[in-house]
Amino acid sequence: MFLLKRKLRQLMLNPPRVLALGFAGLILIGAILLNLPIASKSGESIGFINALFTSASSVCVTGLVVVNTGEYWSLFGQIVIICLIQMGGLGFMTLATLVALILGKKITLKERLIIKEQLNQETMSGLVKLTRYVIFSTLAIEGLGAFFLSTRFIPRYGFVKGLWFSIFHSISAFCNAGFDITGNSIVPFKGDIIVNLTIAFLIIIGGLGFSVYIDMSRHKRFNRLSLHSKLVLMITLILIIVGMILFYLIECNNPGTLKTLSTKERILSSFFQSVVTRTAGFNSIDMSKMKDTTTFVMIILMFIGGSPGSTAGGIKTTTFGAILLTTFTVIKGGRNVVAYKKRIPQEIIYRALAIASIGLFLVTIISMILTISEDANFLDLLFETTSAFGTVGLSRGVTPDLSNFGKVSIMITMYLGRVGPLTMAFAFAKRQKNSIKNYRYSEGNILVG
Amino acid sequence: MFLLKRKLRQLMLNPPRVLALGFAGLILIGAILLNLPIASKSGESIGFINALFTSASSVCVTGLVVVNTGEYWSLFGQIVIICLIQMGGLGFMTLATLVALILGKKITLKERLIIKEQLNQETMSGLVKLTRYVIFSTLAIEGLGAFFLSTRFIPRYGFVKGLWFSIFHSISAFCNAGFDITGNSIVPFKGDIIVNLTIAFLIIIGGLGFSVYIDMSRHKRFNRLSLHSKLVLMITLILIIVGMILFYLIECNNPGTLKTLSTKERILSSFFQSVVTRTAGFNSIDMSKMKDTTTFVMIILMFIGGSPGSTAGGIKTTTFGAILLTTFTVIKGGRNVVAYKKRIPQEIIYRALAIASIGLFLVTIISMILTISEDANFLDLLFETTSAFGTVGLSRGVTPDLSNFGKVSIMITMYLGRVGPLTMAFAFAKRQKNSIKNYRYSEGNILVG
Ligand SMILES: [K+]
Ligand SMILES: [K+]
């Protein structure tokens, strides 16, 4: 009895495990609600696998769908979905803190630890303040986004529907979810500057991570920001620009995508597609008509994803940055990885290496399994798997036709991509208690490359 | 004048640069010879681009071909090709040492440095002895291989042709070149145990690297081997077994490959294909009839390649091993990467990371460029590019139909794959003279994953 209690306490004191199980629980609750007949417009239940898939896709803010969100689900279903997105995006623990705050109770150290893990915040102090800040800024930003969107949606869809559409898409964009209820993503608005820019900025802000905003609001100048914030901003900027240029250059002669557009629309679409590809999963252009080259570029962008502690998935911009910096350091013959006059410790580099390899391994294994179980083009399956891992939600149209086995595989990939492969490993792997013992080993050289 | 002399001396004292330029020179000489009309059976010149491609493929021991080696080239052409393979495989600097030895001249320290770079040998002593050892064991192993092959080739092709075929394929196998003159690789011998095992063992021995044999001949027991040798042997074994099992399981129901074979032939073919895929480029099975899943497995194996200091290409088994070990270490929460009770230094891990990222970057960029310039399936282009980078030479049939631009791209990939991306970077990048200055920077933390 005492042993059981201690085991239970140990479990609860392992924040990655609580995080992993919490997400799983939320997905299950969502699946039960979406499985109800009233969740669909037709009044018939969608079936458990599809309900589970949609719930997982919502909670993991992925946006891969088996049915068209706008056409299939009833208002009740859509509300369940957007709530799951908001909870998944903000992190269920932040929500738990909100509840705790409202009830006026003090949160425990254990709960603080979990929120810390969730937000990747290094310092323990001010976590309650941080959580309050996170929730209020999220609501403020989403409100502002919904306002801008409503200026275009209300004239088109009428007041009630237009307002609902504005709120839904603002939350979906800020949480980097990529769910849409227009029926065809934002293809109908591909030339509309306000809709494109609002959604793009909601996605960018949502994908930077809260620690970066806090840093930015404290230190107004770039030079004074922390190394983390500098790297996040720089890599994000580089990825957006490179993606935009590649997308423009490769697709500008493709009649299925950019060729028929005006120069203004081409630039806007390229910018938009570059921004959303890394994590958000909206599309203003038909994905299945893209060239293989662009598809491959997008697979890489999706794999990299957004920034840590944000609503985005993927291996994260800083992981990519750390690998890039290490590579340049080795080429130049240096021993230490230096960025903005700060040395990045070995521990972080090893961690980045591990995250990238686990990510690559996961995407590879799942794509391989899908090439056996599904009857589809390899590139499309790789695209869909990476989209799930990066919790992006872009699709080349394969997802609705997946077998149940394929749906479960993609579901697992979304879940692992959202929780983070390393967090997952930390949650369930037996960890070395004392790694100091390794110091007694002598160095052994190997030749690489 | 003095400045020019000093510049020239500086150039010569940079071993990676001499290596890179030496390979380029050998490729050019080979191209001139293969461009001659007498090199082809028809008596007409093949044209410079194709001659250059064949020469690059031979020197880089890749085996990708624009024409069928057995059907197109005259005996003169085939002799040029096998000589280029032997020189490329052994390394042109080892050959230069041989010449120096024959002429009775002492080799200079500078030349020793270059051989050291070439063979990845850590110690400077006994390099002449090593070179002699390398050359004589190569000839001995190739002779033995040719003998075994001749027991099957002479009865089939007659004495002279059979002997020539035996010598050609033994050299090609040991140097991991994958060139064949049977007209259809070793598909005609897919059930022949002697041919399969002889070629497989020549490839395995050639792909381990000389430092491993020397280590093995000195210390007979596995426990006494160096960390490098242990890792090379272990990773090679794991890759062969995993590749064999995957190949068997995925292809056993494919009528185009394994289904029509007996169980014995299936196992033999799976073993053979797993061995050759990582570097040697022979095939006993039609590559273009393989399933996408197998193709993808093979792309990964080709990317990993053989071991350092061997005739193989790719990022190398030890690089892959170092990344794998680091990942497990991070998952377990350890700080030091430990293998066989030895700590692998940070420098090596960073190097492995850099090699893998440069390799990935190269394969990605070239595949992307090819999807624009060529009219072929994405998976086939990725396969061909990885085959070139890993100097494997397996083909899904795309190479002969490449545009000149595509041929040049694949040629560059083969060259970079053989010289090694990091060696290439060392050869021409401006290196930090004093990296100690970096120690003055304070540590800066970033969040990854
Ligand atoms: K998404
Ligand atoms: K080869």
Instruction: Provide the percentage of residues in chain B whose pLDDT is more than 70.
Output: 81
Ligand 2 centre to CA of B208 (Å) is: 14
State whether A378 and B308 contact (CB < 8 Å).
Answer: no
pLDDT tens digits along A112-141: 666 565 555 544 455 666 677 778 888 999
Q: What is the structure's pLDDT at B411?
A: 92
Min Cα–Cα distance to chain B from A200, Å: 23
CA distance B166 to B442: 62
CA distance B283 to B425: 33
Q: Count residue pairs from A and B with Cβ separation < 8 A.
A: 253
B262 band by pLDDT with thresholds 50, 70 and 90 = confident
- Ligand closest to A65 (CA) is 1
For chain B, the average pLDDT equals 80
Tell me, what's the ipTM? Answer: 0.83
Annotate chain A with three-state secondary structure: CHHHHHHHHHHHCCHHHHHHHHHHHHHHHHHHHHCCHHHECCCCCCCHHHHHHHHHHHHCCCCCCCCCHHHHECHHHHHHHHHHHHHHHHCHHHHHHHHHHHCCCCCCHHHHHHHHHHHCCCCCCCHHHHHHHHHHHHHHHHHHHHHHHHHHHHHHHCHHHHHHHHHHHHHHHHCCCCCCCCCECEHHHCCCHHHHHHHHHHHHHHHHCHHHHHHHHHCCCHHHCCHHHHHHHHHHHHHHHHHHHHHHHHHCCCCCCCCCCCHHHHHHHHHHHHHHHCCCCCCCCCHHHCCHHHHHHHHHHHHHCCCCCCCCCCCCHHHHHHHHHHHHHHHHCCCCCEECCEECCHHHHHHHHHHHHHHHHHHHHHHHHHHHHCCCCHHHHHHHHHHHHCCCCCCCCCHHHCCHHHHHHHHHHHHHHHHCHHHHHHHHCCCCCCHHHHHHCCECCCCCC
CA distance A163 to A198: 15
CA distance B112 to B94: 10
CA distance A230 to B211: 45
Put simply, the chain A residues between 5 and 64 with a CB less than 8 A from any chain B CB are none
Angle of the B292-304 helix axis to the A378-389 helix axis, nearest 10: 70
CA distance A277 to A391: 10
CA distance A6 to A345: 35
∠ CA(B242), CA(B247), CA(B249), 5° rounding?
Answer: 95
pLDDT tens digits along B348-394: 899 899 999 999 999 999 998 898 888 888 888 999 999 999 888 88
CA distance A274 to A243: 5
B434 band by pLDDT with thresholds 50, 70 and 90 = very low
Min Cα–Cα distance to chain B from A44, Å: 38
Q: Which residue type occupies B239?
A: L
Instruction: Provide the percentage of residues in chain B whose pLDDT is more than 90.
Output: 22
Q: What is the structure's pLDDT at A397?
A: 81
Put simply, the chain A residues between 249 and 308 with a CB less than 8 A from any chain B CB are 250, 291-293, 295-297, 300, 308
- Ligand closest to B312 (CA) is 2
CB-closest option in A227, A334, A439 to B445: A227
A8 band by pLDDT with thresholds 50, 70 and 90 = low
CA distances from A83 to A80, A331, A370, A420 (A): 5, 48, 30, 22
Put simply, the chain A residues between 341 and 360 with a CB less than 8 A from any chain B CB are 341-355, 357-358
Cβ-based neighbours of A114, under 8 Å, separated by 6 or more:
A15, A18, A19, A93
pLDDT tens digits along A59-116: 988 888 888 888 889 999 999 999 999 888 877 556 545 444 444 445 566 666 665 6
